[in-house]
Amino acid sequence: MTSYRYPSETAIFGITILVLLVILVISAGLTVCLVPLAVLVIIGLSYYLNKSHHQALLQSGMVVSPQRSPELAALAQQCINRLQTPGQVQFIVLPQPQLNAFTFGFSNPKAVVLFDALFKVMDKDELRFIIGHELGHVALGHAWLNTLLGGMAGVPISLGAAVVLTLAFRWWNRACEYSADRAGLLACGSPHKAISALVKLEAGMVRSQEQMERALQAIDAEDDSLLNVLGETLASHPLTIRRINEIKKYTRSLEYQHLLAEVNRRG
């Protein structure tokens, strides 16, 4: 159930890893025999950062459970079942005013963090898209890979190397978002709701069809600006209009129709 992965993601990841190794050898002044040691250091830093971050979230957020939040727990479990998400996943709700969600974790359980502002803006199907999107990051290995790559922060490199590394990782991050959007689409089963969730993440509360159309018009113009297009190269997420267009393109594919039928049989 990971065949929804965006086609270019694996190739982009390979290039990113190659850039990482070249920077470790050249910028950090490592010999080939020391590269494995540097990788072990990165893994150690990543594991430590993951544990610290997880503990901080547990102290400031609420862990979703059937006892504390039965409706949300049931919704999350439905998405897990539809996508056959492997491993253990822990859902945490944070009291934050932003419309956001993210996934992280180097080992089980992986954590899906939902900001509570989402529940004031999204309906159930839109929440299914957002939860499915984050579960896609878990299933496709993005969560632990991003945590691992975060350990690079502890490796001393030059400014130029840091820029190259950031651009490489951002390219891969954007490809990951397309893959995760496909997972969210399969989780909610509705292209319309997937798109409206993306619109609300950017525009906030949308109370009518007229407001939705105005927001879509503004989003549609995003890639008309050269500044926006250039800014995207430094962003971890693609422009929203590109994500919407990729969703529309994917829904026309035979692969999507086949996977959706399989997912629907699971409920």
Cα–Cα–Cα angle for 147, 203, 141, nearest 5°?
20
Higher pLDDT, 104 or 152: 104
The number of beta carbons lying within 10 Å of the beta carbon of residue 30 is: 17
CA distance 214 to 204: 12
Q: How much is the pTM?
A: 0.89
How do residues 118-155 score in pLDDT, each as one tens digit? 999 999 999 999 999 999 999 999 987 777 666 554 55
Higher pLDDT, 208 or 16: 208
Buried residues in 234-263 as b, exposed as e (16+ CB within 10 A): eeeebbbbbbbebbeebbeeeebeebeeeb
Number of H helices, E strands in the chain: 12, 4
**pLDDT value, residue 4:** 94
pLDDT, the chain, mean: 88
**pLDDT value, residue 152:** 54
Cis peptide, bond prior to residue 109, ω within 30 of zero = yes
CA distance 144 to 43: 10
**pLDDT value, residue 158:** 60
CA distance 146 to 142: 6
Higher pLDDT, 238 or 148: 238
**pLDDT value, residue 155:** 53
Strands of 110-115's sheet, edge to edge?
62-63, 89-94, 110-115, 101-104
CA distance 95 to 109: 21
Count of alpha carbons within 13 angstroms of residue 133, beta-carbon side: 24
Please check the confidence at residue 29 and state whether its pLDDT lies above 70. Answer: no
CA distance 171 to 19: 12
Please check the confidence at residue 208 and state whether its pLDDT lies above 70. Answer: yes
Buried residues in 179-210 as b, exposed as e (16+ CB within 10 A): bbbbbbbbbbbbbebbbbbbbbbebeebeeee
How do residues 155-195 score in pLDDT, each as one tens digit? 555 666 667 777 788 899 999 999 999 999 999 999 999 99
CA distance 171 to 145: 14
How do residues 41-100 score in pLDDT, each as one tens digit? 777 777 777 778 788 888 999 999 999 999 999 999 999 999 999 889 999 999 999 999
**pLDDT value, residue 98:** 95
What 3 state SS string does 51-89 have?
HHHHHHHHHHCEECCCCCCHHHHHHHHHHHHHHCCCCCE
Q: How confident is the model at residue 21 (pLDDT cuts 50, 70, 90)?
A: confident
**pLDDT value, residue 162:** 65
Please check the confidence at residue 40 and state whether its pLDDT lies above 60. Answer: yes
Higher pLDDT, 29 or 186: 186
**pLDDT value, residue 231:** 92
- Residue 207 CB partners (closer than 8 Å, separation 6+): none
- Work out whether the CA dihedral 138, 140, 254, 258 comes out positive or negative: negative
> What's the token pair of residue 232?
């995207």
- Quick one: DSSP state of residue 30? -
